[in-house]
Amino acid sequence: MAWSVPTIWTIRLTPIDDSTMVELFHHGFERFGAEAADYLEEYEDGWDGKHLKALRSCVE
């Protein structure tokens, strides 16, 4: 699906003891107006454990 407006990714890294907590925020869905909830729901349904495993392999 091609989106008509861009959304925004924010990545926050927080040191915790000898590790780092990584938080991913994907926001800007309000830019879609009345369709925002539909876009967000479709987006969230697409994430599963394989995406987090792929991210982990990139940083290790």
Domain ranges of the chain: 8-59
pTM of the full structure: 0.61
Q: What pLDDT is recorded for position 24?
A: 86
Tally of residues, the chain: 60
Per-residue pLDDT reduced to its tens digit, 11-55:
999 999 999 888 888 899 999 999 899 888 888 877 777 877 887
Identify the band that residue 1 occupies on the pLDDT scale cut at 50, 70 and 90.
low
Task: Give the containing element (helix H, strand E) for 57.
Answer: helix 49-59
Q: What pLDDT is recorded for position 58?
A: 84
Rounded-to-integer distance, Cα 46 and Cα 48, Å: 7
